[in-house]
Amino acid sequence: MHHLSTPSSLMLRRFCCLATPSFSSSAAAVFSTSVASLTPPSGRKKKLVFLGSPSVAASVLETLLDASSASNSIFEVAAIVTQPPSGRDRGRKVLPSPVAQHALHRGFPADLIFTPVKASEEAFLSDFRALEPELCITAAYGNILPTKFLKIPSLGTVNIHPSLLPLYRGAAPVQRALQDGVKKTGVSLAFTVRALDAGPIIAREEIEIDDNIKAPELLDLLFAQGSKLLIQELPSIFDGSAMTKAEAQDDSKATLAPKISQEESWLSFDEEASVLHNKVRAFAGWPGTRARILVIDEKSDKRSELELKVITSRVYRGSDVQSSEDDEVTFRKGSLIIPCGRNTALEILEVQLPGKKVVNAAAFWNGLRGQKLKKLTS
């Protein structure tokens, strides 16, 4: 069982430079209105424990901390549970999770930030039980919650899940939805049960998405919407009515969103351009998408293989699409055009070479100094 030690001033300064979405005035107004009819008994606020790890979860924590500090708030954030510190930057320095960093930046007590490797650890469960939490809120925590944990909070555990449950249950709901090319998605508030993302749904919010939004942007958007939804529903969760109104999921309509692997990041230009574009959007952030390109110097007849990270793409809409059998990569109006399966083409706007910065297609093309490019399909 690990508590988080107080970070160095350097770490705090570094964190201060990171922009964290703030609790909007509209969300504050919603919360203030929602809780106006609820008065804390004998001045005692209900104990809420927040579980989350990445930066999108830090935005949810921000919302909860702001709401808890309102004059008429009926709850307090009694503790925070997050993933242990890990080496995340290029120097592989061991840093607290974004949620832990944000909590410390807000002045949250370090001894109330818990970082168990597994939520099933007896020492952690003992400390957690001693808090006597009434409600837990999870947002991208990244750890399985055992039955022993779920039995502790008297009002249950509620998860903010970035999909329209029962669709896309699992570790990568936003990424898999984008990979499938969905036109709409959303966020769900659901009680946590032992089965994967299968608990009763308290509320859902649906949003339409465009063809070019990437996973990191959509994650930010959905967790921001989820925070607002949570604030709206907290009074009903605290008075117990949410448990009564929550709707059971239709398991027959469930789809899975399995964890993404590094091996999936390769693009195969035998596939249709829309499939590849959706993959680029879905895997943006991590693990990214990679392609193999053949570079030909016609003067020396030298050929070399290049690994290229595709950062931004779109489906080419021109009427002059080359046959996919034509392997040549061309450059038009600021974009690389790569012929793909079924007479489609992918337009690539931004790329990154290994160890280099992201550049636009024009800068990359100019750097070739007249060398030709051909696609490699395997």
Cβ contact 117:86 at 8 Å: no
- Binning pLDDT at 50, 70 and 90, where does residue 9 land? very low
Length of the chain: 378
Cβ contact 114:103 at 8 Å: no
CB-based contacts of 9-14 (< 8 A; 24+ apart in sequence): 11/95, 11/96, 11/101, 12/104, 12/105
What is the pLDDT, as a whole number, of residue 346?
96
Cβ contact 159:189 at 8 Å: yes
Cβ contact 280:347 at 8 Å: no
Residues 160-198 have pLDDT tens digits of: 999 999 999 999 999 999 999 999 999 999 999 999 999
Domain ranges (residues) in the chain: 46-257, 273-375
pLDDT mean over 261-288: 96
3-state helix/strand/coil string of 171-197: CCHHHHHHHCCCCEEEEEEEECCCCCC
* 135-139 vs 157-161, strand pairing mode: parallel
DSSP letter assigned to residue 69? T
Rounded CA-CA distance 262/281 in Å is 15
Cβ contact 154:39 at 8 Å: no
SS3 307: strand
- Binning pLDDT at 50, 70 and 90, where does residue 10 land? very low
Residues 77-98 have pLDDT tens digits of: 999 999 999 875 556 688 999 9
pLDDT mean over 283-293: 96
SS3 18: coil
What is the pLDDT, as a whole number, of residue 17?
30
- Beta-carbon contacts of residue 152 (< 8 Å; ≥ 6 apart): 125, 128, 129, 133
- Beta-carbon contacts of residue 300 (< 8 Å; ≥ 6 apart): none
Rounded CA-CA distance 216/50 in Å is 22
Cβ contact 181:274 at 8 Å: yes
* 358-360 vs 344-352, strand pairing mode: antiparallel
pTM of the full structure? 0.86
Cβ contact 269:276 at 8 Å: yes
Rounded CA-CA distance 271/345 in Å is 10
| CATH number assigned to the domain with residue range 46-257, chosen from the 4 options 1.10.287.610, 3.60.15.30, 3.40.50.170, 3.40.50.300 | 3.40.50.170
- Beta-carbon contacts of residue 303 (< 8 Å; ≥ 6 apart): 294, 295, 296, 297
Single-letter code of the amino acid located at 271: E
Residue 36 has pLDDT above 60, yes or no: no
Average confidence score pLDDT of the chain? 89
List the alpha helices (DSSP H) in the chain.
9-16, 25-35, 55-68, 98-105, 122-131, 147-150, 173-179, 215-238, 241-245, 273-282, 361-367
What is the pLDDT, as a whole number, of residue 89?
58
| CATH number assigned to the domain with residue range 273-375, chosen from the 4 options 3.40.50.300, 3.30.450.20, 3.20.20.10, 3.10.25.10 | 3.10.25.10
Find, among 190, 192, 163, the residue nearest to 254 by Cα: 163
What is the pLDDT, as a whole number, of residue 319?
79
Rounded CA-CA distance 4/85 in Å is 8
